[in-house]
Amino acid sequence: MKKIIIDGNSLTLDDIFNVVYNGYIVELSSSAREKILKSRALIDSWIDKDSVIYGVTTGFGEFANVKININEIEQLQKNLIYSHAAGTGVFLPIEIVKAMFLLRINTLSKGYSGIRLETIEFMIKMLNNNIIPLIPSQGSVGASGDLVQLAHLVLSMMGIGFVVIPEKISRSGSQAVFNKGFNYKLHTVDKIEIEKLDILKADLALRKIGLQPITLKAKEGLALINGTQMMSAYLSLCAGYAIDLSKIIDISASMSIEALKGSDTPFDERIHNLRPHNGQKECAANIRKLIENSEIRESHRYNHEKVQDAYSLRCIPQVHGASRDTIRYVKNIIETEINSVTDNPIIYPEDEKHFEGGNFHGQPIALASDFLGIALSEFANISERRIERLVNGNLSGLPRFLTTQGGLNSGLMIAQYTAASLVSENKVLAHPASVDSIPTSANQEDHNSMGSIASTKCYQILRNTQAVVAIEFICAAQGIDFHSPLKCGKGSGKAYEIIREHIPHLTGDRILYDDIQTSLDLLRENIILEGVENIVGKLL
């Protein structure tokens, strides 16, 4: 079984995807173990001295001035988790919860939180055995960390609440709409697959893997819930998927160029060297590679009736590229965040000191999530405009709505409606959450980031955008069919072949839901991307 060594300093987006989706297990590094033990020893020494330390021997938030008796310290930590487990709403996607678990382990392994080594090892055993707590999605304001959701996570460690134990979490995302224990996924008109996820009481699930519910010691409740791990889990998965999507949408665009008999001139390297934004140059290079040796392109190279293509074709590098540069920025922000200490107070064993600060504040994640949501919305916007051109016979030169029997058949008319619906929803979701703040804890916490809301919205925008691009693949492939026997370029042609292996040409009306779901699976599982890269090499 493949393994990732956790030291608190080097976790990457690839590591997160490998743990969440590919079954990798985690193990603490020896250096992390040493740091954790030193930090905990200092906490124990302060307890013995009955020192006044926020959240260890005092109350929380507005109650920071209330001293707690030493014989009530364990009750204090238990009460903290009970009182903060105040969530509401549907359960978080299970892939988000698993990522939360990993991120919390990683930050605690840095050795600045004062948690016991056995507590972190308890969490690792839960993670490696795929025990996923059911956590309500609403309740975080994204400043003192994701207190509510992390408290619900800790409840499961205490043997309280419910968990699921999936055999595998799929990138295709059926679990993302998980609630009430079932995932529904319609693959064909005559078959429905229902995946049952066993819901167990947390204490029973713990005993199945040889664990007894944990009793929290001094500082541990606070150490476990002070942090940005829910919003960071969302943004980590969004950023990882967005990196792939920035390549996948170049592939779908290349197919639309083929179907619409677009020009290759706008992708000439000399144009982009004069405006050398990295994302723009990368996208143009990808398109050139994807449509190389296109017979369709050569068939109309010297047709000068159309001097310039519409922006949704001609400005692909400029639009896709700007979103690419945003994704690059967000990746840097989130990989910094997931390897940071977001606890309070922070314990410094070397100096035998503790510092009360604000590293739990989610502002970096809030802004980055809003920015990424906007960038992904633009992917969807321009993709939908290409879909519209493909189905609009007045613009495409192709059969109206890509069907040869219009009237009797509606063809792909309503697929464009769906894309338009998703794009419109994205425009609402892309309104930034980070510009809002509402005070909590009797105005002690008087500026909150709303990063939890920003990252949740970003995740929905991502999923909407993936669906729009999946529809573009379907429409572009249908358009390309009408240029037969002329063939596409190397990369666009391979993508077309993969789609046609799974989705047949639309000869007459059929239920398009199935086609869209199949296209989404090909997209989310990176089947199209990997197939194309096997032919043309790695895309930028």
Q: What whole-number distance in Å separates Cα of residue 493 and Cα of residue 257?
A: 12
pLDDT at 449 over 90: no
pLDDT for 453 beyond 50:
yes
Predicted TM-score (pTM) of this structure = 0.93
Is the pLDDT reported for residue 433 higher than 90? no
Q: Which tokens go with 314?
A: 């001609």
What average pLDDT score do residues 284-303 get?
91
pLDDT exceeds cutoff 70 at 349: yes
Q: Characterize the bridge pairing of strands 182-188 and 191-196.
A: antiparallel
DSSP state of 83: H
Residues ≥6 apart with Cβ < 8 Å to 318: 275, 280
pLDDT tens figures, 79-133: 999 999 999 988 999 999 999 999 999 999 999 999 999 999 999 999 999 999 9
Beta bridge partners of 191: 188
Give the pairing of strands 3-6 and 25-28.
parallel
Query: CB-based burial of residue 473 (10 Å sphere; 0-12 exposed, 13-18 middle, 19+ buried)?
Result: buried
CA dist 81 and 70 (Å) reads 18
Count of CB atoms situated within 10 Å of the CB of 425: 15
- Count the Cβ atoms, other than its own, within 10 Å of residue 195: 15
CA dihedral 437, 423, 248, 178 (to 10 degrees): 70
**Amino acid identity of 534?**
N
Q: Which residues contact 72 (CB under 8 A, 6 or more apart)?
A: none
Bridge pairing between strands 353-355 and 182-188: unpaired
Q: Which of 47-51, 216-220, 453-457 is the most confident on average?
A: 453-457
Residue 508 has pLDDT above 60, yes or no: yes
State which H helix or E strand residue 132 sits in.
Answer: strand 132-133
Please write the tens of the pLDDT for every residue from 164-202. 998 888 887 644 434 443 444 444 434 444 455 678 899
Residue 445 pairs in a beta bridge with 440
Q: Report residue 437: phi and psi, to 5°.
A: -155, 145
Side chain identity at residue 351, one-letter code = D
Rounded Cα distance, 238 and 111, in Å: 28
Contact 276, 242 (CB under 8 A): no
Q: Which residues have a Cβ under 8 Å from the Cβ of 18 and sit 6 or more positions away?
A: 2, 4, 24
**Strand pairing category for 3-6 and 353-355:** unpaired
Tell me the average pLDDT of the chain: 91
Q: How far is CA 357 from CA 237, 366, 452, in A?
A: 28, 19, 20
Q: Could you say which DSSP state residue 67 is in?
A: B
Supply 359's token pair.
Answer: 């590293």
**What distance in Å separates the CA atoms of residue 369 and residue 215, rounded to the nearest whole number?**
35
The 3-state DSSP composition of the chain as helix, strand, coil percent (nearest 5) reads: 55, 10, 35
Residue 22 is which amino acid? N
CA pair distance 186, 198, nearest whole angstrom: 20
Residue 136 and residue 152: Cα distance in Å, rounded?
Answer: 8
Rounded-to-integer distance, Cα 116 and Cα 114, Å: 7
User: What is the rounded distance in angstroms from the CA atom of residue 422 to the CA atom of residue 430?
Assistant: 12
Say how far apart CA 114 and CA 530 lie, in whole Å: 44
Three-state DSSP class for residue 173? coil
Q: State the pLDDT at residue 511.
A: 93
* Residues annotated as catalytic (active site), given as ranges: 54
Q: So what's the pLDDT on residue 76?
A: 87
The pLDDT of residue 459 is above 60? yes
In the prediction, which pLDDT does 176 show? Answer: 41
The least confident of 28-42, 135-149, 298-312, 400-414 is 298-312
Question: For the chain, first and last CA: distance in Å?
Answer: 30
